[in-house]
Structure 1
């Protein structure tokens, strides 16, 4: 498969590039011109000055089968990042004729599972959602952009991200968040995103993930 990874200089993006190459995919990694990224030599790196012009992204998408996006705000003061950049990516995908995208979102964007633990459902998630409200508002708008795009989209919603190695021992559920979800490694999130690319059941759906 020929894939383009946006946000390739971030933690999940680097994992997406590395793991996709390990699976035998042909990978184009898109990063800002000012970014530095320790990426595998097998990846084609495309540097972009700004993510406000779809036409500037089309060359990185021509002939590709799918897009993987690790783009998202790094903190509450980052400002809207995921939604505006994803809107530009969506338009570029339409121009290039690329139908499939899998993007990372976050568990607090979706409703808590009905049978989740009381503390998680009534205390922790509302507290986290309040503290990081600008971040989750941005990701919620990103999901709205994808739902309205007409593309074959999937969003993966992890809880707290860690830098631990890939375990392969994570839980996923299509269409909902996972109960008693506290953390998951960026490496496992990348693995789940790559798995979702070829899974028709995830098209047009959020995918909850946690260890």
Structure 2
């Protein structure tokens, strides 16, 4: 089975992805700022204490991996350009070690004009984000630009409001304003992300996953 380099494995969605990846038999190298936040013990899990903003820590996590899952995001007190700088470090490490595939997680506010057909409500949400959290939205856009220019096999998974509901076991894979709803459970989102490890259906695309 493949070895996965995981960033953001201590977050609410990241933990579910970590558990599911291990259950599927993948080996996981998880870079964690605070390893105490993950109490999973598994022979296929290697925990590396470090920070995605530290290029040398990222190199350790990416080395000997075959796919990167980039699930880290802003929390209270995060640096303004967290996702941009962290993604830049990850891309450079991937190029250094010849790792080609990366799956990144972002929100529905990140535009993908090639396929999105935002309705009025979607446009209002994006406008609110531009006003309320402009730095986070700009950071997401810049991280996507880095991936677009990387020549790697990248995809960005986007979602609406995330819930802790029980998984339904099915979900819609669409675009903003196209075959989409306003929420999804983290468990179902994690299921989709782990499935993409073996698939390239959405290479160089940004599917929007919802109930």
TM (norm. structure 1) is: 0.87
Q: What whole-Å deviation, never above 9, does each CA across 1:69-128 have from its counterpart, x for those lacking one?
A: 1111136975221111111111111112211100101111115843x554x134344224
Task: Show the counterpart of 1:147.
Answer: 148
* Aligned equivalent of 1:199: 199
The 2-side partners of 1:18 and 1:122 are apart by: 35
**Distance of 2:64 and 2:165 partners within structure 1:** 34
Retained in 2: the 8 A contact 1:103–1:193? no
Aligned counterpart, 1:23: 24
SS in 2 for 1:110: coil
Q: Please name the residue that 1:80 is paired with.
A: 81
2:138 is paired with a residue whose SS is helix
Q: TM-score, normalised by structure 2?
A: 0.87
Separation in 2, partners of 1:146, 1:138: 13
**Structure-to-structure mapping, 1:124-135, within 5 angstroms:** 124-135=125-136
- For the residues of structure 1 that align with 2:60 and 2:76, how far apart are their CA atoms? 30
- What does the per-residue CA deviation read over 1:31-60, in whole Å, with 9 as the maximum and x for residues that have no partner? 01x453224211211111x43443332232
Aligned residues of 2:109 and 2:125 also touching (Cα < 8 A): no
* Residue segments in structure 2 that go unaligned for 5+ positions in a row: none
CA distance in 1, matches of 2:199, 2:13: 20
User: Residues 104-123 of structure 1 correspond to what in structure 2 (within 5 A)?
Assistant: 104-110=105-111, 113-114=116-117, 117-118=119-120, 120-123=121-124
1:178, CA displacement in angstroms?
Answer: 4.6
Contact 2:17/2:194 (<8 A) preserved: yes
RMSD over aligned CA atoms reads 2.2
The 2-side partners of 1:196 and 1:107 are apart by: 18
Indicate if the aligned counterparts of 2:171 and 2:188 stay in contact, CA closer than 8 A. Answer: yes
